[in-house]
Amino acid sequence: MIFAPRTFHVLAATALVSVLGAAPGSALAALPYAGKTLRVLSFNDTHAAAVAKRLPEFEKLTGAKVVFDAIASNTVAAKTTSDQAAGGSYDLYTVDEPFMPQLAPFFVPLAQWPAPKTVDKSELAPERYLPAALAGGSYKGTNFGLPINGNVYMYVYRKDLFSDAKERDAFKAKYKYELKAPTTTAQMRDVAEFFTRPPSMYGFAPFTKMSEGTTVEAIWVLSTFGVRSVDTPQALSLDAAKATEAFQFYLDMMKFAPPGATAWHHAERMAAYSKGKLAQMMTWPSFVKDLENPQKSLVVGKNDYAPPPAGPAGKPSAVAGTWTLALPKSSKQKELASEFAGWWASASFGKSLVESGMNPARRDLLQDAALVKSNPWFPGILSNFEGAVVRPRSPDYNKLSDVVSRHFTKMIAGQATADATVKAMDAEISRLTSLPKK
């Protein structure tokens, strides 16, 4: 033997360690983005947590390291603004629909994104996504990103109650038509009245705590009653009669809401419905998963989903709320960011994200037979997105939302009538939209 046994063992062990250690290293080095780091700013929910958990898969695919910062949803826009003001430290941002007009100047239009290397290029094609979801990430006709969830207002009701023979007979005797998911706001009111049996059951779940949610609720009821817009001078006075009728409808429906529902947020709505205290509710699909979770809900399997009831204008209206992946001009890793966005928004990855509560913004996933079976509200999302209302596309949206929310909550609190609310809201919106932009 050339080497002493001991020396031989040491050399053999060293060689083995080098081979084993080098193999992954060299494989990693061969990957297209080896040694690069991507920084992503995301909202924080179960969907984002599922993405964060699967990051090693992307890192294995591309060789890149991903720093994934997930923060409270309502702070993402402020963080994005301050980060961009400081030069931009992130390569990819998640942007909530109403903030895109304000933040759009920071981003690269989707059409100019670099083509990815490892992800199928067609994953970035706008045709893959629902038009209303894409509109959420657009401003002045330019699309600034890929939609990653399809949130749109939907109507949920207790199918066990609606199909109960005794309830159906009683309803028909009182209202002279069959009990079914309401297709008009007048029917929605009848259903609310019929099922209001204090203290165990109520017919209406309002959203009334001052926040963006109240603005959405106001826009939903206004658009249902045919009000065309809320973001131009005199928009409400042009449709004053419809706007007043819409608000009066909401005030009338409050009679069928549980006591104290004058300061309700998502948590209160979900708690009441999950306990079986509500017969019907307008909600976001992102909350539906919890209604069907036995650990969180007493009404699992007792729900069905339908398009929102149409108003006197004859058209149902659903407000959309999409999050978009946006690539900043400041990023030095645009190709890698585009790669990551394509991976996140892809159909194959999306299928697994659905399990974590993500509602897709892609037609193919919403129509996937297996996914529809386990998520029966998907057809509802698809149909509601067809005529979805996109919130005003204005850089001043937040001020506008504040005006709507303030006056709407004042009206709910009994400080103003429907008519006075429309006038006050219109005056303030007109003043705001006539001002030079700040």
Partner 1 sequence: MTPSQRRSTPWVFLWPGALLLGLLLFVPIVFSLSLSLRDTTATTLAQGGDAFIGAGNYVELASDEGFHASVFLLLKFIVVTTSIELVVALAVAWWLDQVVRPWRILESLLIVPMFVIPVVSGLTFRYLLDPGEGLIGFVFEKLGREPPAMLGDPTLAFWAIVLQDVWRMWPFVFLIVYAGFKGLPREPLEAITLEGANAWQRFRYLILPLLRPTLAVAALLKAIESLRAFTEIYVMTGGGPGEATNLLSMYVVKQAFTFFRVGYGSAVSAVFLFVGLGLALLFGWIQRRAARGATLA
Question: Three-state DSSP class for 184?
Answer: strand
Question: Three-state DSSP class for 375?
Answer: coil
Nearer to partner 1 among residue 84 and residue 138 (C-beta): 84
Least separation in angstroms between residue 7's CB and partner 1 is 55
Residues 199-228 interacting with partner 1 (rule: CB under 8 A): 199, 208-211, 214
Give 265: exposed, middle or buried? Use CB within 10 Å, 0-12, 13-18, 19+: middle
The reply on whether position 438 binds partner 1 by CB under 8 A is yes
**Mask 277-296, x = binds partner 1 (CB under 8 A)?**
x-------------------
Written as six digits, the tokens of 212 are 């963006």
Nearer to partner 1 among residue 351 and residue 406 (C-beta): 406
Looking at 56-64, 183-191, 241-249, 263-271, which segment touches partner 1 (CB under 8 A)?
263-271
**Mask 377-416, x = binds partner 1 (CB under 8 A)?**
------------------x--xx--x--xxx-xx-xxxx-
Residue appearing with tokens 């006197």: 312
Residues 76-135 interacting with partner 1 (rule: CB under 8 A): 77-78, 81, 84-85, 102-106
Nearer to partner 1 among residue 52 and residue 432 (C-beta): 432
Least separation in angstroms between residue 88's CB and partner 1 is 11
Is residue 209 within 8 A of residue 264, CB to CB? The reply is yes
The reply on whether position 436 binds partner 1 by CB under 8 A is no
Identify the CA nearest to 321 among candidates 353, 293, 283.
Answer: 283
Distances (CA, A) of 220 to 202, 374, 407, 426: 21, 28, 15, 17
The reply on whether position 271 binds partner 1 by CB under 8 A is yes
Least separation in angstroms between residue 82's CB and partner 1 is 8
Least separation in angstroms between residue 292's CB and partner 1 is 22
Alpha helices per DSSP H over 202-304: 212-224, 235-238, 240-253, 266-274, 285-291
Give 325: exposed, middle or buried? Use CB within 10 Å, 0-12, 13-18, 19+: buried
Q: What are phi and psi of 271, to 5 degrees?
A: -65, -45
- Residues engaged in binding partner 1 (CB under 8 A): 75, 77-78, 81, 84-85, 102-106, 199, 208-211, 214, 258-263, 268, 271-272, 277, 395, 398-399, 402, 405-407, 409-410, 412-415, 437-438
